[in-house]
Amino acid sequence: MDAPQDAADQGDGGVPRLHRGIPEGAEQQVAALYWEAFGRKLGSALGPPEKGRVFLASHLHHDRGITALDGVGRVVGVAGYDLAGRALNGGSARDVLSGYGPLRGLPRLALLVLLTRNPAEGELVMDGICVAAAHRGAGIGGLLLREIAAVAAENACSRIRLDVIDVNPRAKALYERHGFSAVRTQQTPFLRTLMGFGAVTTMHRAVTTDDLAEGTPR
Ligand SMILES: CC(C)(COP(=O)(O)OP(=O)(O)OC[C@H]1O[C@@H](n2cnc3c(N)ncnc32)[C@H](O)[C@@H]1OP(=O)(O)O)[C@@H](O)C(=O)NCCC(=O)NCCS
């Protein structure tokens, strides 16, 4: 895709452009970005941070992410998704047990199961969206969401689903501006100490044929 017209020049690397997929060699950048955004939530399951980043980088499904790249090809944003049961973040139960050991791996697996959201028929489920802290508020998150909607439309999905935690009202506001509506909130007080949030809101957005025109297939 050509440089997006509505994205501000980032100054230190040019105008961000979107790329379908995780570029080969960018795995560690993606994992670092992901950990910067979700480390608080993932720490108890995949920490310590260095190990968690390595685990994420080693088990990415390259075809299940959209990246925003700056002018010199650095990843400044990523949006993951789960389509037909394959998500950006891979890593099976066996990978967790072999990476963390059977004794330490088992409780970690239990926590990861709590975070797992399988797509229903005709549904694309978001698997994390994050923009590097220095690049936030410049429209990159919105561009990624529009591209996700295009992917959903191209794959004949009728709905996009995502979860947002109660301590992230700005992300929730962003989703609402992009057509998502809250459908239910699950209270999770037992996760407040462990993962830093006490409730999870599920949001839906219908996919329409207009979404086909929004993104640029490549
Ligand atoms: C949420 C996020 C992906 C938005 O990306 P972005 O490129 O800043 O988004 P845009 O520039 O298109 O839109 C900005 C809007 O994003 C939301 N936002 C959420 N957190 C933000 C932050 N830390 N800084 C700036 N905007 C933020 C706001 O609604 C903001 O609108 P505002 O002008 O009313 O404040 C990004 O802030 C981020 O990576 N946050 C950390 C990870 C995260 O919370 N992911 C969502 C998990 S459900």
Indicate whether 134 belongs to any domain: yes
Q: In the numeric block, which tokens belong to residue 96? A: 């967790």
pLDDT at residue 218, as a whole number:
46
What CATH number did the domain enclosing 119 receive?
3.40.630.30
CB of 138 closer than 6 angstroms to any ligand 1 atom: yes
Given a cut of 70, whether residue 6 has pLDDT beyond it is no
Q: Which two tokens stand for residue 148?
A: 């996700």
Asked if the structure places residue 109 within a domain, the reply is yes
Quick check: is 213 in a domain? no
Nearest to 11 by CA among 144, 132, 169: 132
Domain encompassing residue 34: 17-157
Question: Which is it for the CA torsion 111, 116, 89, 30, positive or negative?
Answer: negative
Average pLDDT of the segment spanning 83-95 = 92
Ligand 1 contacts CB of residue 129 (under 6 A): yes
CA–CA separation, 140 and 146 (whole Å): 10
**Tokens 């310590």 label which residue?**
48
Ligand 1 center to 101 CA (angstroms) = 36
Residue 158: which pLDDT band, with cuts at 50, 70 and 90?
A: very high
For 136-156, the pLDDT digits (tens) are 999 999 999 999 999 999 999
Q: Is residue 166 domain-resident?
A: no
SS3 30: helix
Distance 7 CA to ligand 1 centre (A): 14
Which atom belonging to ligand 1 lies closest to the Cα atom of 143?
Answer: 12
- Three-class SS string for 91-111? CCHHHHHHHHCHHHHHHHHHH
CB neighbour list of residue 197: distance below 8 Å, 6 or more residues apart = 41, 165, 166, 167, 168, 188, 191
Q: Which atom of ligand 1 is nearest to the CA of 142?
A: 12
Q: Is the pLDDT of residue 115 over 90?
A: no
> Is 60 within the bounds of a domain?
yes
Q: Is residue 183 part of a domain?
A: no
At 131, the pLDDT band (50, 70, 90 cuts) reads: very high
DSSP for 129-190? EEE-GGGTTSSHHHHHHHHHHHHHHHTT-SEEEEEEETT-HHHHHHHHHTT-EEEEEEE-GG
pLDDT digit string, tens, across residues 9-29: 444 555 699 999 999 999 999
Task: State in Å: Cα 36 to ligand 1 middle.
Answer: 13
Ligand 1 within 6 A of CB of 145: no
Model pLDDT, residue 107: 86
- To the nearest whole percent, how much of the chain has pLDDT over 70? 91
Question: Which has the higher per-residue pLDDT, 130 or 117?
Answer: 130
Tell whether 198 is covered by a domain.
no
Specify the number of domains making up the chain. Answer: 1
> Of the candidates 66, 47, 82, 59, which has an alpha carbon nearest to the alpha carbon of residue 130?
66
Give the separation between CA 182 and CA 153, rounded to whole angstroms: 21
